[in-house]
Amino acid sequence: MKTKVAVIGAGNVGASTALYIAERGLADVVLIDRPEMEGMPQGKALDMQQSAPLWHKGARIEGATDLAAVKGATVVVMTAGFPRKPGMSRSDLLKANADIIRPAAEAVKAHAPNAFVVVVTNPLDVMAWLFWKTTGFPKHRVVGMAGILDSARFRAFLAMELGVSGADVQAMVLGGHGDSMVPLPRYTTVSGIAVSELIPAERLAAIIQRTRDGGAEIVKLLKTGSAYYAPAMAAVEMVEAIVTDQKRLVPCSVLLEGQYGLRDLFIGVPVVLGGNGVEKLIELKLSPEETAALHKSGNDVADMIAELAVGV
């Protein structure tokens, strides 16, 4: 039986995710959106299906407006949610997207009880926690996409700075997906050479700040939207690691139970991602400054969870 991946949310991130999964020949894909969007996910899926003969891959792509279409999915990618709009507070966004996550999580629990879940909806770490809490799934089966995207942005900026291939840059970014993320230059190399050997400290600090502002920079340039190609590709890396059992060592948002001095929250740390989902959590030796930065990021996530937990 062919592997099936369900993508909830047929907006830019969801549609790009579906396209990349099918294009790589990883799985058949169902692209799901709200009932009032009838025709939109089906239309996008049909457009992609018509391009399939040109990829020389056999993946099937379907569209649906019923969450029951997740049935039989090995992996569910949760991308649906509102972007933050001008004048919208963090609390407004939190509550609006929580109202989207809960029914989606209930549907996955009912129709795809053995699925692995990759959460992309923002605020990402909190939404991953809420999906896990709502489904009651084991912690190794619910994971948030953040660290791979943030690390990819860091890698891209470093590659641009050095004039080298981004494929040769390995980077590690921990923490929550937001302003308080924690890029780790000590664990960042170019073909094994420490990045601090290649870029002056001042310039490196500027690149780290640009990484933190990576999403905001794109929002400012686009004026009417936010990033979707890189977020979708980061989610697909995780889907591929799971469905092909790659055992990738990558930063992902996962449940911490005392590791790094944090508990009862989802936050980005290095894990081994494979056929059993989160197979191992790696605890790095952090400096006091790095630990303090990670704890600050953790506190930001914990505050938002506390705000939501009132209604859970």
pLDDT in tens, 129-188: 999 999 999 999 999 998 999 999 999 999 999 999 999 999 999 999 878 899 999 999
Q: Which tokens in the block code for residue 58?
A: 């056999």
Q: Last residue of some domain: 89, 113, 144? A: 144
Residue 262, domain extent: 147-309
Pick from 33, 27, 109: which is nearest to 71 by CA? 109
Q: Which tokens in the block code for residue 50?
A: 């018509």
Q: Residue 268, SS3?
A: strand
The answer to whether residues 201 and 84 belong to one domain is: no
Cα angle, residue 86 at apex, residues 18 and 144 outer, rounded to 5°: 35
The answer to whether residues 207 and 67 belong to one domain is: no
Length of the chain: 312
For the segment 189-212, the average pLDDT, to the nearest whole number, is 97
The answer to whether residues 136 and 216 belong to one domain is: no
pLDDT of residue 92: 82
Strands 116-119 and 193-194 turn out to be unpaired
Q: Is the pLDDT of residue 312 over 70?
A: no
Answer whether 104's CB lies under 8 Å from 67's CB: yes
Using CA atoms, how far apart are residues 230 and 228, in angstroms rounded to an integer? 6
Using CA atoms, how far apart are residues 101 and 305, in angstroms rounded to an integer? 14
Report how far Cα 256 is from the mean position of its chain's Cα atoms.
17
For the segment 275-289, the average pLDDT, to the nearest whole number, is 97
The answer to whether residues 92 and 160 belong to one domain is: no
Question: Confidence band (pLDDT; 50, 70, 90) for 251?
Answer: very high
The answer to whether residues 160 and 287 belong to one domain is: yes
Mean of the per-residue pLDDT values for the chain? Answer: 95
The answer to whether residues 50 and 176 belong to one domain is: no
**Catalytic residue positions?**
177
Answer whether 72's CB lies under 8 Å from 113's CB: no
Q: Last residue of some domain: 144, 177, 202? A: 144
pLDDT tens digits, one per residue of 90-122: 778 899 999 999 999 999 999 999 999 999 999
Task: Out of 96-110, 211-225, 291-305, pick the least confident.
Answer: 211-225
Report how far Cα 263 is from the mean position of its chain's Cα atoms.
20
Using CA atoms, how far apart are residues 312 and 305, in angstroms rounded to an integer? 10
The answer to whether residues 204 and 227 belong to one domain is: yes
Q: Is the pLDDT of residue 224 over 90?
A: no
Q: Which tokens in the block code for residue 157?
A: 């900026």
The answer to whether residues 251 and 136 belong to one domain is: no
Q: Is the peptide bond between 123 and the residue preceding it cis, with omega within 30 degrees of 0?
A: yes
pTM of this structure: 0.96
The answer to whether residues 204 and 297 belong to one domain is: yes
The answer to whether residues 286 and 175 belong to one domain is: yes
Answer whether 37's CB lies under 8 Å from 10's CB: yes
The answer to whether residues 288 and 178 belong to one domain is: yes
The CATH number of the domain where 166 resides is what? 3.90.110.10
Q: Is the pLDDT of residue 311 over 60?
A: no
How many CA atoms are closer than 13 Å to the CA of 221, on its beta-carbon side? 8
pLDDT of residue 90: 72
Domain count, the chain: 2
For the segment 30-47, the average pLDDT, to the nearest whole number, is 98
User: At which residue do the structure tokens 């939109």 appear?
Assistant: 40
The CATH number of the domain where 106 resides is what? 3.40.50.720
Sign of CA pseudo-dihedral 225, 65, 6, 107:
positive
Q: Last residue of some domain: 119, 144, 169? A: 144
The answer to whether residues 190 and 302 belong to one domain is: yes
Q: Which tokens in the block code for residue 125?
A: 């770490």
